[in-house]
Chains A and B, each alone.
Chain A
């Protein structure tokens, strides 16, 4: 299975900050990488697909990048609604696998 490793596990930040989350794959997955946001008690919500394409209605302050084995999710200016847990997921090889999550918390 392709192992997905996110860093950091927890990120403390303030409203207005620019933050970046990193996701590394154990082997090359080209750009078949998605990012999800999950809030407590809710299902994950797709933000980014194919590494850098924003899902419809996702604010432009979110951006994704990378290819191969290293990927990033950047939020350019944190808003109160952005404090949540973020997951990456590869869908190049089955079984499709997720990262362990990055919890973005208010500093």
Chain B
């Protein structure tokens, strides 16, 4: 049974970079799109971007200038880097697998990231 698990710091200082990993276990990272989504009370659920297992990416234009998503097939994980964070980036961050482009059918448990000095 495929499972996803987010990992990374729960606290990030303003202007620094938020970095999260999503480990895929119980299955292959091959042949799927993998996404990052965040949720905050202010903005609700927001798609951040996705990556195809071969490395092709697509980002939300509202975050594109600050986001990088990458994948490490040999280690079965993919990563999110969000640069120059502010308090508005405080949210629960989820990683997910897409059954079809844009359709998230398997989610990690989520991890709360707070941006604060």
Residues of A within 8 A of B (CB): 32, 34, 42-46, 49, 55, 87, 89, 91-92, 94-101
Contact = CB atoms under 8 A, between A and B. Distances in A.
Contacts, number: 53
Contact of B94 (A34, A43, A46): A43
Nearest to A32: B102
Given A43-B94, A43-B108, A43-B110, A91 B103 contact: yes
B87 interface: no
B107 interface: yes
A46 B104 contact: yes
15 contacts: A32-B102, A34-B103, A43-B94, A43-B108, A44-B107, A46-B103, A46-B105, A49-B100, A55-B105, A91-B100, A94-B47, A96-B47, A98-B44, A98-B45, A99-B44
A49 B98 CA distance: 12
Q: Is the interface of A mostly helix, strand, loop or mixed?
A: loop
Contacts of A98: 44-47
Nearest to B45: A98
B88 to A, nearest CB: 17
Q: Is the interface of B mostly helix, strand, loop or mixed?
A: strand
B81 to A, nearest CB: 18
Interface string B24-65: 000000000000000000001111000000000010111000
Q: Size range of the interface on B?
A: 20 to 34
Contact of B47 (A49, A92, A95, A101): A95
Contact of B107 (A43, A91, A94, A97): A43
